[in-house]
Amino acid sequence: MITLKSDREIELIRKNGRIVANTLALMRRHAAPGVTTKELDGIAEDYIRGEGAVPSFLGYGEPPYPAAICTSVNEAVVHGVPDGRALQEGDIVGIDVGASSGGFHGDGAATLPIGRIDDETGRLLAATQAALAAGIAKALPGGRLGDVSAAIQGAAEDAGFSVVRALVGHGIGREMHEAPQIPNYGRAGRGVRLKTGMVLALEPMINIGTYEVELLDDEWTIVTADRTLSAHFEHTVAITEDGPVILTVADPEFLDQ
């Protein structure tokens, strides 16, 4: 069942979305050659708790997720676990952040370049961000979920990249993962009808090579089957009468630095 959120509930999700987006901006500031993903995790957790929220991912699932954020380097698609690995010039790192307070969650992600990256990698990041934007633009009352999925897939594949099938976006609210599941591929005009009050975490995962993925032995990290690079961007989005509203928005002072 898809729960519709009231304006008051959407404001609570937006508070968490703001903390998530500010955390991502902090990560952009700190992610540099020589910095470990564990250091990024510590900075993120301190910020989230300092804002009076709790990291949504810590302890989630089975085995319990062991960190505050996910840090997915290069061929890691999502759910990379922070560790002592130092980032290197030319890497990309997908940072995924969830925050919870007031009984609701916010969820967002961005893939960051470390120093200079090569042209194809830059195109992958741009295409994944553009695919997310194309999906958000279709999050309209009266539309269909398939409109969102098809827009994401079209943008990614038109750029020459492949869409991960095995993982999906999701509804979000009192739970981090609510109905509906949102594939990043599909057909326009199909699927459930979109309504004002739905809040969706849209999160395309886009690969340079095959869309097939594998789970590593740590039971969390998902990597591309062919070990080519993968990118991931995510926003929490409310469907309103006035159209899609992104709830994972940073404060201006976080963006300027």
> Is residue 59 a contact residue for ligand MF3 (CB under 6 A)?
no
Q: Which one of residues 70, 76, 156, 198 is an interface residue with ligand MF3 (CB under 6 A)?
A: 70
DSSP per residue, 45-100: HHHHHHTT-EESSTT-TTTTP-SSEEEEETTEEE-PPP-SPBP-TT-EEEEEEEEE
Q: Site residues for ligand MF3, window 159-178 (CB under 6 A)?
A: 170
Tell me the two tokens of residue 121. Answer: 């990698």
Question: Burial, 39: exposed, middle or buried (Cβ in 10 Å; 0-12, 13-18, 19+)?
Answer: middle
Q: Which one of residues 19, 20, 40, 57 is an interface residue with ligand MF3 (CB under 6 A)?
A: 57
Q: Which one of residues 33, 34, 52, 61 is an interface residue with ligand MF3 (CB under 6 A)?
A: 61
Q: Which one of residues 67, 124, 201, 247 is an interface residue with Co ion (CB under 5 A)?
A: 201
Tell me the two tokens of residue 4. Answer: 């519709």
76 makes contact, choosing from Co ion, ligand MF3, none, with CB < 5 to 8 Å by partner type, with none
Q: Which one of residues 91, 96, 147, 178 is an interface residue with ligand MF3 (CB under 6 A)?
A: 96
CA distance 155 to 172: 24
Q: Count the site residues for ligand MF3 by CB under 6 A.
A: 13
Interface ranges with Co ion (CB under 5 A) = 107, 201, 203
